[in-house]
Amino acid sequence: MCGIYGFFDRHGAGLDDAALAAMDASLVHRGPDDSGVFRRPGVALGNRRLAIIDIDGGHQPFVSDDGRIALVQNGEIFNHVELRNELQRQGVRFHSDHSDTEVLLRLYERDGLDFVHRLNGMFAIAIYDARHAPGGTAQPTLHLVRDRVGVKPLYVCDDGQRLLFASEIKALLAARTSPPELHLPALQHYLAYNYVPPPFTLFAGIRHVMPGTMLSLDAGQQHERRWWNLAAQQPALQGFGQWQEELLAVLDDAVRLRLRADVPCGAFLSGGVDSSTVVALMARHLHAPARTFCIGFSDPRFDESPYARDAAQRFGALHRERLVAPDLLDDWDTALWHCDQPHGDASFLPTLEVARLAAAEVKVVLTGDGGDELFAGYDKYASFMADPALRALPDADFARHYIEHTGLFGEQARAALFQPWLAQRLAGVDSVRDVAAPWLQQAAHFDRVNQMLFLDTMLLLPGNNLVKPDRMGMAVSLEARTPLLDWRVVELAFRTTGDTKLRDGDKKHWFKRAVEPLIGADLAYRKKQMFTVPIGEWFRGPRRQWLHDLLFAPDALGARLFQPDTVRQLFDAHVAGSANHTRELRALAALELWARRFRPVLAA
């Protein structure tokens, strides 16, 4: 686990030492153990390292023996042992003992960009290649590669001459002298989705590289292509017994691979079906008790610690839990700084707390992230499909109604919220047509349930739900690994028809049955409890004045963007208890806290 950064200038110009140093310094939390940079005229590849595998020999960048290829990565390659053994049998020499990053370099030397299809891991990789093209002259090229589902982040900023890249947006901002500019279409998308859907960011000129995508550029051209396409899966009819056997085998191997580390490993454990499955499989492969971590709340509506405690006892885990303060909002600014963008999701705050707890004992945790998006674990799927009229919508209307049903501010609500100048600037922006619809067009061969899950896998996971474990873990230099998002599990999930996932309102229908022998009926069929905190109640009580002062400050960003009467109505109705506007107020508050930290300017 690391942070990467760098630049490529098409005209061979450099980037001053102070800018590179600032990029490096902005990512120290992602890699406090080591740093390194490769520089040539017009290019630099930098790395901040959190040492997990090959502690002494894994220094990055890795450079080819002839000095013409350099490589850095953020992430882990879980099948690096098998790949190294294959290469060594073919006579390839390694200089490190067992670094997974050197495996990437040697594999790229052998296979070129096709190497990426051999990887089982979470990664964002940068490769500089200055070798001679066949029959031509040297044409230095930069390749940027992101993992299949976007577990590891990667951002780029390209002004036509120079491209900057980094694991976090703050590193790109550190290399620039001008203040960041607010990207207004992304603002609308944030309000529509409750997060900024990739590839958009709230910073003009900065975009999120999409999962399963590689970007290549040289002095003359830039080429971007998807190297992995989830929509290529074809749903197939399959009996439960055969499916269960395949799922459990793949999950078992996914957990086994993700336990590879030269540092202590643990797991986040809530006692839910996903995290319990992960810990049960960990117990099979560890020679000592698994280390598990959970936080608790004094309010039983939000406290999962008793379930986690029971699960830990069942699997013989060494369990740690901590009761946290009832009000976590003092950490909100810290969480948003690490995220670089606002998120309306309140679960970032308890995730930061459990990451702090785990980081005191381990450097790696396994999590249950991804199971709900793959196997239909959220209530929103059941509620949407419960309406016959929504189920029967034609393709052209399905995306719009799904986003309206599951999103935040719908079209009418945004029309009431935006000031006239902003509404005019955004008149041609459509948050369904421009974001969700193109993905659903690719998934036209899926049934309605899998279309919803596909959309959330492509947008919600990399835009929000995977940002959470990555950024909150990296805030305390903790690596989070997600075995349920092993690419084999993901592809299996989308070869499975929707009625096996959501049947008559029963969420995760087959998944729960499949893991019941592993974790027991109590854990498999336990009612899902969202990992969140009661911010809406805090807004009505101890944080009422805090929220008021944040939203209605004279210099608030919202004062320039939104109709004050609309925001006032949301606030007054909520604090009076006549309506529940928790989600709307939470998103607006996150936007203000983010703006205070990053100070975006509005273009004239």
Across the chain, mean pLDDT equals 95
Q: Looking at 183, 210, 228, which one is the last position of a domain?
A: 228
Whether residue 357 is contained in a domain is answered as: yes
Cβ-Cβ contacts under 8 Å for 156 (sequence gap 6 or more) = 144, 163, 164, 165, 172, 206, 207, 209, 215
Same domain, 257 and 330: yes
Same domain, 407 and 519: no
Same domain, 211 and 72: yes
At 137 the pLDDT is 53
Same domain, 282 and 187: no
Instruction: Give the phi and the psi of residue 526 in degrees, each rounded to 5.
Output: -65, 135
The count of structural domains within the chain is 4
**d(Cα 94, Cα 30) in Å, to the nearest integer?**
26
Tens digit of each residue's pLDDT (9 = 90 or more) over 11-64: 999 999 999 999 999 999 999 999 999 999 999 999 999 999 999 999 999 999
Given 489, 524, 559, the domain boundary residue is 524
Is residue 183 domain-shared with residue 236, that is, in the same domain? no
Q: Which residue matches tokens 């899966």?
A: 233
Output the CA angle 111-112-118, nearest 5 degrees: 55
- Average pLDDT for runs of 10 along the chain of length 604: 93 95 98 96 97 94 96 98 98 96 98 98 97 64 98 97 97 94 98 98 98 94 95 94 98 98 96 97 96 89 87 96 86 97 94 97 97 97 91 86 93 97 97 95 95 97 98 98 98 97 96 97 84 84 96 97 98 97 97 97 83
| Percentage of residues in the chain having pLDDT higher than 90 | 89
Q: What is the structure's pLDDT at 136? A: 52
Biggest CA-to-CA distance, the chain? 74
Residues 297/298/301/306 CA torsion (nearest 10 deg) = 70
Strands, sheet with 206-208, edge to edge from the N-terminal-most edge strand: 34-40, 43-49, 2-9, 162-166, 155-158, 206-208
Instruction: Please indicate, yes or no, whether residues 295 and 410 belong to a single structural domain of this protein.
Output: no
Placement of tokens 């059941």 in the chain: 382
Phi/psi for 2 (5° steps) reads -155, -175
Residues 393-439 pLDDT 10s: 888 799 899 999 899 999 999 999 999 999 999 999 999 999 999 99
β-strand pairing of 318-323 with 291-296: parallel
386's enclosing H/E stretch is none
The answer as to whether 561 is a domain residue is yes
Task: State whether 168 and 293 are in the same domain.
Answer: no
Residues 401 and 410: their CA atoms lie apart, in Å, by: 10
Is the domain of 432 the same as that of 469?
no
| 347 close to 530: Cβ distance less than 8 angstroms | yes
Question: 299 and 276, same structural domain?
Answer: yes
Q: How far apart are CA 281 and CA 41, in angstroms?
A: 49
**CA 590, 28, 487 angle in degrees (round to 5)?**
75
**pLDDT given for residue 394 in this prediction:** 87
Domain extent, residue 158, equals: 2-228
Structure tokens at 327: 């009000």
| Beta-strand pair 364-366/265-268 | parallel
Identify whether residues 218 and 181 lie together within a single domain.
yes
pLDDT digits (tens, 9 = 90+) for 62-102: 999 999 999 999 999 999 999 999 999 999 999 999 999 99
